[in-house]
């Protein structure tokens, strides 16, 4: 069965600093990969996704992620963090399971941004 | 704005009571999902529906039931709530069962006492 690991439960960065959130997955083939963001008290918003092709994908809000097959990773990056980026970030793997696709989520990384 | 709406936003419920969480989408998506989010456990799938008239069980279906009478609505019912069902519940949808990208509603925060 597939699984997703987000090794960092909580990360704190200063505003304007660069950011990298780690995500590792376990799956026998190349999965569909996603990053979602959840602002406090809000639902999950899709940041970006990787299906195939270019391994560096661009998303909304200036985020990007790179798929590295050799490392089974899909890390999320942003060159300069804004205070509004403070939120919880979830990595997810989508695989075909029976009649539809199933999303398996990591447990999330909480991002705090210091002024 | 097109999307998913959920009601209520939050609810405090006495154990043993029946509760229905509502979910409506206006994107004409065929597939819909219910997840629960618990601290340290991430999101777990409760039930899903590939199309109107069909439903299926997810990872944690016990204590919950769903129905899908039409494309837009996918209510989740707790027949007799228990404290372990205290959670944040998210409804999601995808264009169809062949689409892997899911879009989420704002969630319902439920406290069962």
Sorting pLDDT into bands at 50, 70 and 90, what band is B1? Answer: low
pLDDT (0 to 100) of residue B29: 94
| Range B25-32 average pLDDT | 94
Number of A/B CB contacts below 8 angstroms equals 52
Q: Which two tokens stand for residue A81?
A: 């963090």
Calculate the average pLDDT of chain B.
94
SS3 B68: coil
pLDDT for position B68: 97
**CA distance, residue B82 to nearest chain A CA (Å):** 23
Shortest CB distance from B48 goes to which of A100, A105, A108? Answer: A100
* B107 to A42: CB separation less than 8 angstroms, yes or no: yes
How confident is the prediction for chain A on average, in pLDDT? 93
- Residue A18 has which token pair? 């660069």
Q: Which residues of chain A have pLDDT under 70?
A: none
pLDDT in tens, B48-101: 999 999 999 999 999 999 999 999 999 999 999 999 999 999 999 999 878 889
Which superfamily is assigned to A3-114 in CATH?
Immunoglobulins (2.60.40.10)
User: Which residues lie closer than 8 Å to A105 by C-beta, 6 or more apart?
Assistant: A4, A36, A90, A91, A92, B42, B43
Q: How far apart are CA A11 and CA A42, in angstroms?
A: 20
Rounded Cα distance between B107 and A105, Å, is 16
CATH homologous superfamily of B4-112 equals: Immunoglobulins (2.60.40.10)
With CB atoms and an 8 Å threshold, state whether B98 touches A101.
Answer: yes
Q: End-to-end alpha-carbon separation of chain A, Å?
A: 41
Domain boundaries, chain A: 3-114
pLDDT of residue B2: 65
Rounded CA separation B98/B74 (Å): 19
pLDDT at A43: 87
Residue B41 pLDDT level (bands cut at 50, 70, 90): confident
Q: Does A31 touch chain B (CB under 8 A)?
A: no
Q: CB–CB of B45 and A102 under 8 A?
A: yes
Q: Which residues in chain A have their CB less than 8 angstroms from residue B60's CB?
A: none
Q: Which residues contact B26 (CB under 8 A, 6 or more apart)?
A: B2, B3, B72
């Amino acid at each position: 069965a597939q699984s997703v690991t987000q090794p960092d439960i909580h990360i704190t960065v200063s505003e304007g600093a660069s950011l990298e959130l780690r995500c590792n997955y376990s799956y026998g083939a190349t999965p569909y990969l996603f990053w979602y963001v959840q602002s406090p008290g809000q639902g999950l918003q899709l940041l970006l996704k990787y299906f195939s092709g270019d391994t560096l994908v661009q998303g909304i809000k200036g985020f990007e992620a790179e798929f590295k097959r050799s490392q089974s990773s899909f890390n999320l990056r942003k060159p300069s963090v804004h205070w509004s980026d403070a939120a919880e970030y979830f990595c997810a793997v989508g695989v075909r399971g029976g009649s539809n696709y199933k999303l398996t989520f990591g447990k999330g990384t909480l991002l705090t941004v210091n002024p | 704005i097109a999307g998913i709406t959920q009601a209520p936003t939050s609810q405090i419920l006495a154990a043993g009571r029946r509760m229905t969480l509502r979910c409506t989408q206006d994107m004409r998506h065929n597939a819909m999902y219910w997840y629960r989010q618990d601290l340290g456990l991430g999101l777990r799938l409760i039930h899903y529906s590939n199309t109107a008239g069909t439903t299926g069980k997810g990872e944690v279906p016990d204590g919950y039931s769903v129905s899908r009478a039409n494309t837009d609505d996918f209510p989740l019912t707790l027949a007799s709530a228990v404290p372990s069902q205290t959670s944040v519940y998210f409804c999601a949808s995808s264009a169809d069962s062949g689409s892997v990208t899911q879009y989420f509603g704002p969630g319902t925060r439920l406290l069962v006492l």
